[in-house]
Structure 1
Amino acid sequence: MKQVIVARADIGMGEGKLAAQVAHASLQAYEEAAPPDQREWKGGGQKKVVLQANSESDLFELADTARVEGVPNAIIRDAGHTQLEPGTVTALAVGPAPEDAVDTVTGDLQLY
């Protein structure tokens, strides 16, 4: 079991903003997962990988693929209190789910 968080590299988030957006995405997608998958992922060390995308449209395409594959996912929009405009799409979490299912969605992306 693993979870991948895909963060946008094209909007210039600072390190703290990036960390917050990744955390929001991770938690929201975890809440979307089925309870058995939640328990297995949580009990197995909560494996996470952070990858990068270069646009908002990339995140939505990945989210669509995740939905088709039945993999829990969550798109994150920033509230706009600090660095970004309100509603800016910043990240997508995919999983927790079996590794092969997550890799079907995100396997071609690079590390952040």
Structure 2
Amino acid sequence: MKQAIVARTDIGMGQGKLAAQVAHASLSAYEKADDRTRSKWKGGGQKKVVLKANSERTLYELSEIADQEGIPNAIIRDAGHTQLEPGTVTALAVGPDEESLVDRVTGDLSLY
């Protein structure tokens, strides 16, 4: 079991902002998973990787693929209280789900 969080590199998020957006994405996608998947992922150590994307478009394309594969996913938009404009798309979480399924969506991306 695995979850991949894909964060944008083209919007200049600071480290704290990046950490917050990754956390939002992780939890949001987790909440969309069914009980069996959540339990299996939690019991297996909650494996996560954080990956890079260079555009908002990339996040939407990956989300569409995840939807087609039936993988829980969540796109995150910033509230705009600090560094970014309200509604800025910052991150996408794919999974938790079977590692091979998550890798079908995000396997070509680089680690953050």
Distance, in Å, in 1 between the alignment partners of 2:110 and 2:34 is 27
Root-mean-square deviation over aligned CA pairs: 0.3
Distance, in Å, in 2 between the alignment partners of 1:53 and 1:91 is 9
Distance, in Å, in 2 between the alignment partners of 1:3 and 1:80 is 26
Instruction: Give the TM-score of the pair, scaled to structure 2.
Output: 0.99
1:77 equivalent in structure 2: 77
Distance, in Å, in 2 between the alignment partners of 1:45 and 1:71 is 19
**C-alpha displacement at 1:44, in angstroms?**
0.7
Distance, in Å, in 1 between the alignment partners of 2:30 and 2:14 is 24
SS class of match (1:61)? helix
Unpaired runs of 5+ residues, structure 1, are none
1:45 equivalent in structure 2: 45
Structure 1 stretches of 4+ moved >6 Å: none
2:108 equivalent in structure 1: 108
Unpaired runs of 5+ residues, structure 2, are none
Q: Which amino acid aligns with 1:86?
A: P
Q: Which amino acid aligns with 1:22?
A: V
2:17 equivalent in structure 1: 17
**C-alpha displacement at 1:34, in angstroms?**
0.9
Question: Over residues 53-77 of structure 1, what are the superposed CA-to-partner deviations in whole Å (9 max), with x where a residue is unaligned?
Answer: 0000000000000000100000000
**C-alpha displacement at 1:11, in angstroms?**
0.4
**C-alpha displacement at 1:99, in angstroms?**
0.3
**C-alpha displacement at 1:104, in angstroms?**
0.5
Paired-residue identity, %: 75
